[in-house]
Amino acid sequence: MTTNPIYLALDFPRLETAIAVAQKAKAHIGGVKLGLEFFCAHGHHGVLEVHKLGLPIFLDLKLHDIPNTVAGAMQAIHVLEPAIVTVHAAGGRAMMEDAKAAAGENCKVVGVTLLTSLDGGDMAATGISGEPQDQVMRLAELARDSGLDGIVCSGHEVGAVHAMWRDGFLVVPGLRPAEASLGDQKRAVTPRQARDAGASVLVIGRPIARAEDPAAAARAIEATL
């Protein structure tokens, strides 16, 4: 892992665009995050092309299925040598244990707790009681006890998770610089706030990737950390 905690989310429909943006910001980021949109569009080939940039790759696939299927999926991506892979913590202990057992030796497996696009009202609509932090803490504890390296949560919960799991590898997405629009994120904080609260990795997309000058945008965020 590099010391720069910024991972640039590259969810572009065109591979050439994703690589070009990453090239521009490369000096001011610590890695790249490739999500479901990217993986479905470009597959293994796209990931291998991005690997040529020489940056750690975070495969944000949010795997969630029966344990055997998730283990098979983890084995299928060994060749891509991801630094980080996500699974849904809601998949349960057996699924998370098998995911970690099947992961590459140098791959951190982290459990997604509650998507940053969801709030308490969304939780209630799906039958989950309590506040977002309650659910995040429940699933963070389960992920820890299942042997995962860490979890994914919003900046609002990362401080509480860090206090409970001091050596957990904590990934915070949905970050927005102070002057940026929230977009579809309902529980966003600034990169500096998340880092100060204990985040290991800061996932930032639009504020850098869609900026007129991605390098300047990434440099400006890096300077706040």
Residues marked active site are found at: 62
Q: Is 132 left (phi over 0), alpha (psi -120 to 50) or beta?
A: alpha
* Distance, CA of 217 to chain centre: 20
What distance in Å separates the CA atoms of residue 63 and residue 61, rounded to the nearest whole number? 6
What distance in Å separates the CA atoms of residue 153 and residue 95, rounded to the nearest whole number? 19
**Alpha helix ranges (H) inside 14-112:** 15-25, 36-51, 67-76, 93-102
Q: Is 147 left (phi over 0), alpha (psi -120 to 50) or beta?
A: left
Element (H, E) at 112: strand 108-112
Give the end-to-end CA distance of the chain in Å, rounded to a whole number.
Answer: 17
**18 SS3 class:** helix
Residues near 115 by Cβ (< 8 Å), separated by ≥ 6?
none
DSSP class of residue 128 equals: -
